[in-house]
Structure 1
Amino acid sequence: MAAYLIADVDVTDAATFDEYKREVPATEARHGGRYLARGGATQVLEGDWDPHRLVIVEFPDMGALTAWYDSPEYERLKEIRFRSARTRIIAIEGMPPGSR
């Protein structure tokens, strides 16, 4: 069952964050990740929320998502992200096929 990484990214150092943006897609792809949304326009429809740069990445399953997030190749990029942005990240499991 697919799993989704949802991140709200508040970039504080754009030059440093550019390095992260250049390198992270290949690491996600190696774990089956693909972007569904990446920094596009947002519109709050309800609630008290001021999203920044929203990103949604689909992975084949939660195991692939967490394997990517905990991987040595992503560990270095996390450090770059920690220095250049404030983020909130969640992982959510998708619905089983046919249950929609």
Structure 2
Amino acid sequence: MTALLIGNVGFVGDAERMAEYRAEVGRTLKLYGGGFVIRGGEFTVLEGEWQPTHLSVMKFPTAEDARRWYSSPEYREIVPLREGTHMDLILVEGEGE
């Protein structure tokens, strides 16, 4: 069953370190079958009051693959690069195309 990770960066602590994190994170996703569907870009709020600032959607074959990525040594190694940066990340599992 397909799984999506939806992430939003609320504010960036250290811009240089966050740029390094962004440069590396895609490589770690691929190791676990994941990748970006959308990364940044313009958005329009159609309903509600949520105002994301930098939204990303990542896709994995399964939620277990997403969990393995999130706990992986490769990803854990780059997490300190985003220290001081506020990030929300949710895992959504469901049926789709």
Q: In the aligned structure 1, how far is the partner of 2:4 from the partner of 2:43? A: 18
Partner of 1:95: 95
Stretches of structure 2 that go unaligned for 5 or more consecutive residues are none
Q: Which residue of 2 aligns with 1:80?
A: 81
In 2, Cα distance between equivalents of 1:79 and 1:18: 12
Give yes or no for the alignment of 1:4 onto 2:4: yes
Structure 1 runs, 4 residues or longer, greater than 6 Å off: none
Matching residue of 1:56 = 57
Instruction: Give the superposition deviation at 1:94.
Output: 2.4
Post-superposition offset of 1:70:
0.3
CA deviation profile, 1:37-69 (whole Å, cap 9, x unmatched): 001111111111121100000001011000000
* Count of matched residue pairs: 96
In the alignment, is the contact (CA less than 8 A) between 1:3 and 1:94 conserved in 2? yes
Q: CA deviation at 1:12?
A: 3.0
Identity of aligned residues (%): 39
Distance of 1:86 and 1:64 partners within structure 2:
24
5+ residue gaps in structure 1?
Answer: none
Letter in structure 2 aligned against 1:34 = G
**How far apart are the structure 1 equivalents of 2:20 and 2:74?**
14
1:1-80 alignment to 2 at 5 Å?
Answer: 1-10=1-10, 11-80=12-81
- Alpha-carbon distance between aligned partners in 2 of 1:12 and 1:48, rounded to the nearest angstrom: 24
Letter in 2 for 1:35: F
Question: Bigger shift: 8-17 or 40-49?
Answer: 8-17
| CA 63–78 in structure 1, closer or farther in 2 if over 3 Å, else same | same
